Amino acid sequence: MAGNREKPEEIVSKLRQAEVLQGQGMTVAEAVRQIGVTQQRFYRWRKLYGGMQRSQLARLKELEKENQRLRRAVSDLTLDKLIVTEAAKGNF
pLDDT one-digit tens code per residue, 26-63: 999 999 999 999 999 999 999 988 877 778 888 888 99
Q: If you ran DSSP here, which 8-state letter would residue 22 be given?
A: H
Residue 2 has pLDDT above 60, yes or no: no
Mean pLDDT across 4-25:
88
Query: What is the amino acid identity at position 10?
Result: E
- Percent of the chain past pLDDT 90, that is, above it, reads 54
Mean pLDDT across 12-23:
91
d(CA 1, CA 82): 41
- Among 28, 37, 4, 31, CA closest to 17: 31
Mean pLDDT across 76-86:
91
